[in-house]
Amino acid sequence: MREIEGGITAPRGFEAAGVHCGIKKAHPDLALIYSSSPAVACGMFTTNKVKAAPIQVSLRKLRNRQAQAIVVNSGNANTCTGRQGIKDAEEMAAMAARELQISEDEVLVASTGVIGKSLPLSKIAEGIRGASQSLSPQGGGEAARAILTTDTTAKEISVETDIAGRGKRKVRIGGICKGAGMISPNLATMLCFITTDACITPDALQEATRSAAGKSFNQISVDGDMSTNDTLLVLANGLAGNKRIKTWRKKKKTRVKDENFDLFSRALDFVLIHLAKLIISDGEGATKFIEVKVNGAPFPKDARRIARAVANSNLVKAALAGASPNWGRVMAALGAAHTKINPDKVDIYFDDLRVVKRGMGAGTKDKILRDLLRSKDIRITIDLNQGKNSTTFWGCDLTEKYVRINKSYL
């Protein structure tokens, strides 16, 4: 597997565009992603009980597990907008379908931006018209920019991997995303769109996506606040011409794992983890990227709960912002996670430096620690020493800028 250029338009048969239609004042605010042939599709969405209208519409459209286009607007979340919001999201998909001359069942839809305002449909109609006219196999970057809200950089990646069978075939995967930064008030979303030319069954695509999301977007947090619009959509159009990837294949009448599934899965993991880390690096007000690794947990859920509790602790995050060598806060945060671990067995490392040994301070000099914590990349390793389960979680620090950003009204 290797990184290649092109983002979501790197895989064969995909075109994209990003335009400005006037939902936002000056920035691009509408993106269109299109596959020249119908693609196997799957999605994952926020588990927030308050779900944006476009999520409800895309969920319905995904029932047939096939799609050919995704239309996305930024600047308006179409959330808490009632029945009208659902109609608007459906109309937005229908508009794109008309322009692209495909069935409206084949168009998925996503929104991000202010909660509680109606979609400006006439502006969106205009945007969809413009975008469909400027669709291009080089349009991935434009689309990446058009889905941003207050992110400071566009986030994209593409990779190529070899899939065995019918001669070696090069399968490509591209992805774009926007961050969970809720910079203007009520802006609230992680959006991620993945394209691939892999030929793959719907089940295998769903399984690979679920697994990759579990290792990436479900392992990051900017502020612990869950959005109403989080959306991950994946389109696989099969144009690489590879032997169809399945979750399992038959071999001498028994079911064995398809090794191509592992190859594809590993590439998808890489893409999603890369994008998830880009979101963290661009977290609101963040000055530091923080990796929390938990080893030696009795159960996988203990590892996850502890990693999440430490990465989400305001006190840990503020301490790291100030390069303050407070391992006591890490101990307090891990003890507060809902587990049955024994704190007297815990070792903690900041980078490779042990700061806690068996639940007590390891006597590390504060000055050395402080120097180490001035780095922009901080790795906290927590060895629970009471089992065999591990996890890695990514977060960022908590700064005055985060508060300032979130205090101010749009």
| Residues noted as catalytic | 189
Give the CB-side neighbour count of residue 109, counting CA atoms within 13 A.
31
Rounded-to-integer distance, Cα 106 and Cα 65, Å: 9
Are 372 and 354 in contact, with CB atoms under 8 Å apart?
no
Rounded-to-integer distance, Cα 387 and Cα 127, Å: 54
Which part of the chain contacts a copy of itself (CB under 8 A), choosing from 6-14, 16-24, 255-263, 342-350?
342-350
Rounded-to-integer distance, Cα 211 and Cα 61, Å: 22
DSSP 113-147: EETT----HHHHHHHHHHHHHT-BTTTHHHHHHHT
Query: Binding to a copy of itself by residue 201, rule CB under 8 A?
Result: no
Query: Binding to a copy of itself by residue 9, rule CB under 8 A?
Result: no
Query: Binding to a copy of itself by residue 60, rule CB under 8 A?
Result: no
Which part of the chain contacts a copy of itself (CB under 8 A), choosing from 161-169, 190-198, 360-368, 374-382?
360-368
Q: Which of 319, 372, 378, 382 binds a copy of itself (CB under 8 A)?
A: 319
If the CB atoms of residues 324 and 385 are measured against a copy of itself, the closer one turns out to be 324
Query: Binding to a copy of itself by residue 61, rule CB under 8 A?
Result: no
- If one counts every other C-beta atom within 10 angstroms of the C-beta of residue 403, the result is 12
If the CB atoms of residues 1 and 315 are measured against a copy of itself, the closer one turns out to be 315
Query: Binding to a copy of itself by residue 327, rule CB under 8 A?
Result: yes
Contacts to a copy of itself from residues 387-406, by CB under 8 A = 398-400, 402-406
Rounded-to-integer distance, Cα 310 and Cα 278, Å: 20
Q: Which of 11, 140, 174, 325 binds a copy of itself (CB under 8 A)?
A: 325
Query: Binding to a copy of itself by residue 356, rule CB under 8 A?
Result: yes
Rounded-to-integer distance, Cα 38 and Cα 172, Å: 17
Question: Cα(first)–Cα(last) distance of the chain, in Å?
Answer: 43
Using CB under 8 A as the binding criterion, the count of chain residues that bind a copy of itself stands at 68
The amino acid at 160: E
Query: Binding to a copy of itself by residue 408, rule CB under 8 A?
Result: yes
* Per-residue contact string for residues 79-98; x = within reach of a copy of itself by CB under 8 A: xxxx----------------
CB of residue 39 vs a copy of itself: minimum separation in angstroms? 31
Which part of the chain contacts a copy of itself (CB under 8 A), choosing from 43-51, 134-142, 204-212, 385-393?
43-51
If the CB atoms of residues 255 and 301 are measured against a copy of itself, the closer one turns out to be 301
Which part of the chain contacts a copy of itself (CB under 8 A), choosing from 160-168, 198-206, 290-298, 326-334?
326-334
Give the CB-side neighbour count of residue 307, counting CA atoms within 13 A.
29
Query: Binding to a copy of itself by residue 342, rule CB under 8 A?
Result: yes
Query: Binding to a copy of itself by residue 313, rule CB under 8 A?
Result: yes
CB of residue 184 vs a copy of itself: minimum separation in angstroms? 9
Query: Binding to a copy of itself by residue 166, rule CB under 8 A?
Result: no
Query: Binding to a copy of itself by residue 361, rule CB under 8 A?
Result: yes
If the CB atoms of residues 209 and 399 are measured against a copy of itself, the closer one turns out to be 399
Contacts to a copy of itself from residues 215-274, by CB under 8 A = 223-228
The separation between CA 192 and the C-alpha centre of its own chain, rounded to angstroms, equals: 5
- The residue among 28, 74, 24, 40 whose CA lies nearest residue 54 is 74
Rounded-to-integer distance, Cα 151 and Cα 145, Å: 9
Q: Which of 8, 39, 97, 188 binds a copy of itself (CB under 8 A)?
A: 188
The separation between CA 88 and the C-alpha centre of its own chain, rounded to angstroms, equals: 25
Rounded-to-integer distance, Cα 331 and Cα 335, Å: 6
Rounded-to-integer distance, Cα 295 and Cα 274, Å: 22
Give the CB-side neighbour count of residue 244, counting CA atoms within 13 A.
10
Query: Binding to a copy of itself by residue 110, rule CB under 8 A?
Result: no
Assign 203 to helix, strand or coil: helix
Query: Binding to a copy of itself by residue 168, rule CB under 8 A?
Result: no
Query: Binding to a copy of itself by residue 335, rule CB under 8 A?
Result: yes
Rounded-to-integer distance, Cα 350 and Cα 372, Å: 8
Query: Binding to a copy of itself by residue 371, rule CB under 8 A?
Result: no
Strand partners, 33: 16, 70
- The residue among 177, 127, 135, 143 whose CA lies nearest residue 157 is 177
Q: Which residues of the chain form contacts with a copy of itself (CB under 8 A)?
A: 48-51, 77, 79-82, 114-117, 182, 185-186, 188, 223-228, 313-315, 318-319, 321-329, 331-337, 339-344, 356, 358-361, 366, 370, 398-400, 402-409
